[in-house]
Structures are given as C-alpha cells and as structure tokens.
Amino acid sequence: KEVKLWGGRFEENVTEIVEKFTESISFDKALYKHDIMGSRAHASMLAHQGLISVEDRDSILQGLDEIEGRIEAGKFVWRSDREDVHMNIEAALTDLIGEPAKKLHTARSRNDQVSTDFRLWCRDAVDEILKKIKRLQVALVTLALKNEGLIVPGYTHLQRAQPVLLEHLLLAYVEQLDRDAGRLTDCRARLNYCPLGACALAGTGLPIDRFMTSDALGFSSPLRNSIDAVSDRDFVLEFLSANTIAAIHLSRLGEEWVLWASEEFGFLTPNDSVSTGSSIMPQKKNPDPMELVRGKSGRVVGDLVTLLVLCKGLPQAYNRDLQEDKEPVFDSVKTIIGMLEVCSEFAQNVIFNKEKIENSLPAGHLDATTVADYLVKKGVPFRTGHDIVGRSVALCVSKGCQLQDLTLDELRGISPVFSEDVYDYLGVENSVKKFCSYGSTGSECVSSQLDFWTTQLEIN
C-alpha cells in the first residue's frame, strides 16, 4: 500500500470502510481542469518568487499538461486511496516527474486549493447557465412574435380576470428570466475572488504573491482574509439560491403549460416530438417534459437546502463537512441546465390553438374592469362604477349572456351614465385596445416591450 501524501505521522493506514466513506474522488474529479489551472498559476508564481527553480516550474508545467491530456483521453487512473482530485493529481505528477512535483504544494493547502477550484468551476457553470437562459428567452420571444395579436384570458386565482395578449404573458417569463440572469451575474462577480495562498487558514510565512495567482486565474483580487477564504461557502449558497429562484420560475411555466395542454383548457398542443405516450392507454399524449421541469425544480430546491444545512453548524475555518458541498452543486447545475434546455425545446415545438382560445373568450366577463374604467371616464367614482358593473354582471349571469349582449336600455336601467359609446369598451378585442398604461397589455405597449426584447436579445 502506498503511503499517503500526509502519511508522515501515521503508523497505520485507514481502514477500507473509512477510505470509502471519506473519499471524494468519485465526484470531485469533475474539478480536474480547474485544479490543474490553479496548479499552473501556483507553480508559475512560486518560480517568480524564487521559491522553486525555473527548471522545476517547467517540469511541473509539462507534467501537468501530460496529466491533463491523459485525463481527457480517459487514460488516467483515479485512485480512491489518493482521496480526492487534488492528491490524485499531485501524486500522479510525482509518479511522472519525481522530485520537482514535491515542491508544488509549497505555500498551499487543499483548503485554499479546493475553494479556488470550486470557484473557478462555478464561474464556468454560471456562464453556461447564462447562455441557456438567453436561449430560452429567445425561444419565448420568438413564440410571442409567432402569435402576435392573439388574445388569451388572463387569470388571477386561476379564475378568469382580464383579457391579455399572449405575447404579454410570454414576455412576463422573459422578464423573470432576466432577473434570474441578473442574480447569477451578481453572484459571479461576488464569487470571483481568489482564496489561493490562504493555505490551511492562516496564510504563510513564505514570500508568495497572491495577487499574481489571482490575476493569472482571472479573479478580481485575492480574498482579504485567509480564514474567511478557506472557510466560507456563501458563494455556492448564493449560486444555488439564484438557481433555485430560476427553477421556480421554470416550474411555474411548466405548470401553466401542462394546464393549458389539458383537454379542459386545450389552449396549447405540443408537437409529438416533445410529448410522450402511455404504456396502457393508447390514446394518450402527455406533456412530460414540462411536468418534469416542474418536478425537477424540487431537486434544485433540495440541493440548496442540503447546502444551507451543511453550513449552518460549522465553526471557522475549514471543516471536512465542506467536502459535501460538491454533489449538490453539480446536481443543481446539471438539473437547471436540463430544465432550461427542455423549456427552449418545448417552446419551439408548441402550437397555441387560436380557435379554441378565441371560442373560450366570451366566458368570464373579461371586459368588466374595462367597463368600470369607462364609467370613471364619465366622471363616476371608481367604487360606484365597480358596483354598477357588478350589478350588470349579475344581470348577465341571470340571463346567461355577456355584457356586450345587454341592450342600452338594460344598462341604463342600472345606471343612466351608460350611453351608446359603451359598446366600444365591450368585448375582449375592445377591452384589450383600451389598455395604455406603461407595461400594460395594450397592443402598443406590448409591441414596445417586444421591440425592447428583440433588440436586447439580438433576435433577427
């Protein structure tokens, strides 16, 4: 059995059960690229500071290239007796180049190393997620453009409320995704500080240059406090919080589209290419991808909660518990990327059923609030107008008709303020046309929102 890199003071090796329980190589090998990147920067800095020779640096750099190549070719053997990605690579480097490799860990601990690797990994993951968010925004705006002018019922309490343009509704998701992207961008800026050189927790007495490694790795600057640098995982908490909020937005989209795909709504039909069938009921066509978007949001929430609970009881500085931070982050990232991709795919493969939607619009008195606004324009206090329209709706309910079917006499029977021009306000088309406040569903407002997003997202 090989002696551990830290084996000097030990007389016995760990038992197999302990080795299996404590290893992290089975999952943290995903950090290999960032680990090697960090080692390259560290070795170059050590040589620059005269802590290792230029020859040693060159042989370390060559060795790291060789190891990276082997990993990428699938020829590298990951060993669980070498615990984690850091020791696997360092030990393999020693196997490969001998003595110079033993100098690489000068003024470095796995504690600052792992936090550096993980920040670099998260930075790349954020960039990847941002791309996928933008792609979904593009898909939603494209879908909006494809359905220009289509009026749908807007809901509150899942009860019919007011008529809105479908474009307006789809753009609501685009706005939400924009804030998700903003949160990720904020988090990226806040995580982009370099722990390297904090060593175990106290820093070092050796003349290193932390600014040099920080620059080489594209960080904004070294973290100010070495204890903080190795101890905190707030950057992953923030990252997973941002992911979680995005996942909740996607889950709501999933729920809405699942509902709309039902026979009861029938507003939307997914193409076969994004639907699945039933093993027993031959007629079935289910919107599974969007159900799973809703379902998988639960994992993303769970990953965040795992990390919150992981961190809550930890005294300063590094604790081995922190090794448990990787898998929830990997899972959260993989899941959110999958969710974003499948939402884009679904958005590109869904048909809104114009006829079915239009046939459904007469129900629910969607124009009632517009009529209350009409009365305000006639000088009626809003609360009084609300009451007048409420009584008009009650009359419709008793007669089984819509507001626009009431005669002027019937309306004037409720309030003498009504005159012929009220019919310009009745019906969903008229109603939608009246909206003109900033951000509202009127077609001019919506088309300026659409213009904004087509420019912003560089569509066409």
Euclidean distance between CA atoms 5 and 88, whole angstroms: 10
Among 37, 60, 93, 114, contact with ligand ARG (rule: CB under 6 A): 114
Q: Give the nearer residue to ligand ARG in terms of CB position, either 25 or 417.
A: 25
Here's the x/- map for ligand ARG, 406-425, by CB under 6 A: it reads as --------------------
Residue linked to tokens 């670099």: 120
Q: Give the nearer residue to ligand ARG in terms of CB position, either 84 or 256.
A: 84
**What residue type is assigned to position 425 of the chain?**
Y
Count residues near ligand ARG (CB under 6 A): 9
Euclidean distance between CA atoms 379 and 225, whole angstroms: 66
Q: Give the nearer residue to ligand ARG in terms of CB position, either 333 or 388.
A: 333
Q: Give the nearer residue to ligand ARG in terms of CB position, either 307 or 388.
A: 307
Contact 434, 373 (CB under 8 A): yes
DSSP classification of residue 351: E
Euclidean distance between CA atoms 428 and 432, whole angstroms: 6
Asked if 9 touches ligand ARG (CB under 6 A), the answer is no
Q: Give the nearer residue to ligand ARG in terms of CB position, either 68 or 84.
A: 84
Of the candidates 26, 220, 221, 278, the residue annotated as catalytic is 278
Q: Give the nearer residue to ligand ARG in terms of CB position, either 28 or 238.
A: 28
Burial environment of residue 373 by CB neighbours within 10 A (0 to 12, 13 to 18, 19 or more): middle
The least distance separating ligand ARG from the CB of residue 119, rounded to whole angstroms, comes to 13
Here's the x/- map for ligand ARG, 74-113, by CB under 6 A: it reads as ----------x-------------------------xx--
Residue 157 appears among annotated catalytic residues:
yes
The least distance separating ligand ARG from the CB of residue 47, rounded to whole angstroms, comes to 25
The least distance separating ligand ARG from the CB of residue 298, rounded to whole angstroms, comes to 26
Burial environment of residue 56 by CB neighbours within 10 A (0 to 12, 13 to 18, 19 or more): buried
Residue 160, phi-psi category: left (phi > 0), alpha (psi -120 to 50), beta (remainder): beta
Of the candidates 157, 273, 279, 398, the residue annotated as catalytic is 157
The least distance separating ligand ARG from the CB of residue 121, rounded to whole angstroms, comes to 12
Write the CB contacts of 123 (distance below 8 Å, at least 6 apart in sequence). 188, 191, 192, 218
Euclidean distance between CA atoms 266 and 268, whole angstroms: 6
List binders of ligand ARG among 186-215 (CB under 6 A): none
Q: Give the nearer residue to ligand ARG in terms of CB position, either 112 or 167.
A: 112
DSSP classification of residue 14: P
The Cα angle at residue 174 between residues 173 and 179, in degrees rounded to 5: 95
Residue linked to tokens 């309910």: 397
List binders of ligand ARG among 219-278 (CB under 6 A): none
List binders of ligand ARG among 268-327 (CB under 6 A): 320, 322-323
The least distance separating ligand ARG from the CB of residue 322, rounded to whole angstroms, comes to 5
The least distance separating ligand ARG from the CB of residue 114, rounded to whole angstroms, comes to 4
Contact 275, 206 (CB under 8 A): no
In the numeric block, which tokens belong to residue 81? 């007796």
The least distance separating ligand ARG from the CB of residue 112, rounded to whole angstroms, comes to 9
Burial environment of residue 320 by CB neighbours within 10 A (0 to 12, 13 to 18, 19 or more): exposed
**Residues involved in catalysis:** 157, 278
The site for ligand ARG (CB under 6 A) is made up of 24, 28, 84, 110-111, 114, 320, 322-323
